[in-house]
């Protein structure tokens, strides 16, 4: 009986761990650009520090859409070197935003 309970717990833990990357990626709504890339259209996560992934579901993130982080109260944003386009007002009304770091920038 105890072995069955332990096995069930291990299976449940494994299922939760498999879902974790999906949860992180679920913080971003995006559009598929049709060429293996995507543009983030909306951030749905919590306030605080945000690190934009270099890829979502196998699509390279190359853009941040207009107003994607509108009024989200993020404090800092790390943008991967894959991003080459940031839309108008992408970070509009983010009063707590104090820094944006572009990965790949030389010091």
Per-residue model confidence as pLDDT tens for the chain (107 residues) = 555 554 455 444 444 334 333 334 569 999 999 999 999 999 998 888 999 999 999 999 999 999 999 988 899 999 999 999 999 999 998 889 999 999 976 55
Looking at the DSSP assignment, which residues form a beta bridge with residue 63? 39, 85
Among 35, 15, 20, residue whose Cα is nearest residue 82: 35
Torsion over CA: 37, 46, 72, 49 (sign) = negative
pLDDT at 29: 95
pLDDT at 56: 95
pTM, full prediction: 0.72
pLDDT at 95: 86
Looking at the DSSP assignment, which residues form a beta bridge with residue 43? 28
Q: How far apart are the first and last CA of the chain?
A: 59
Q: Which residues of 22-37 are buried (b: 16+ CB within 10 A; e: fewer)?
A: eeeeebbebeeeeeeb
SS3 assignment, position 15: helix
């Amino acid at each position: 009986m105890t072995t069955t309970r332990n096995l069930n717990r291990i299976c449940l833990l494994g299922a939760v761990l498999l879902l974790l990357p999906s949860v992180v990626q679920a913080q971003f709504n995006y559009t598929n650009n049709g060429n293996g890339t995507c543009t983030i259209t909306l951030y749905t996560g919590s306030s605080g520090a945000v690190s934009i992934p270099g890829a979502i579901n196998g699509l390279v993130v190359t853009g941040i859409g207009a107003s994607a982080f509108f009024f989200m109260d993020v404090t800092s944003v790390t943008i991967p070197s894959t991003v080459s386009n940031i839309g108008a007002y992408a970070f509009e009304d983010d009063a707590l935003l104090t820094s944006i770091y572009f990965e790949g920038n030389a010091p």
